[in-house]
């Protein structure tokens, strides 16, 4: 029986992990930004977002190869 490492549930998990990473990145931007001015995202913070998304995808792929997928007995 062939096991699909990248099934639909795992793709949903990837989507949620990326959303959580973006929210975490944005919360750090808010913590480090000057509260008396508008939110300003500079180029190094955009690079940080790209790095965060890449790391999230790498971690997701690693977990897909580590965690055994569900196999129905039927």
DSSP string, 13-58: HHHHHHHHHHHHHHHHHHHHS-TTS-----HHHHHHHHHHHHHHHH
Q: Tokens 């977002």, residue?
A: 49
Per-residue pLDDT of the chain (74 residues; tens, 9 = 90+): 466 777 888 899 999 999 999 999 999 999 998 889 998 899 999 999 999 999 999 999 998 888 776 666 55
Give the separation between CA 15 and CA 17, rounded to whole angstroms: 6
Q: Give the pLDDT score at 2.
A: 62
């Amino acid at each position: 029986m062939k096991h699909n490492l990248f099934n639909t549930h795992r793709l949903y998990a990837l989507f949620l992990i990326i959303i959580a990473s973006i929210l975490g990145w944005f919360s750090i931007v808010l913590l480090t930004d000057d509260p008396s001015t508008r939110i300003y995202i500079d180029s190094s913070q955009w690079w940080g977002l790209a790095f965060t998304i890449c790391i999230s995808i790498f971690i997701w792929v690693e977990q897909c190869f580590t965690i055994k997928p569900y196999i129905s007995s039927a």
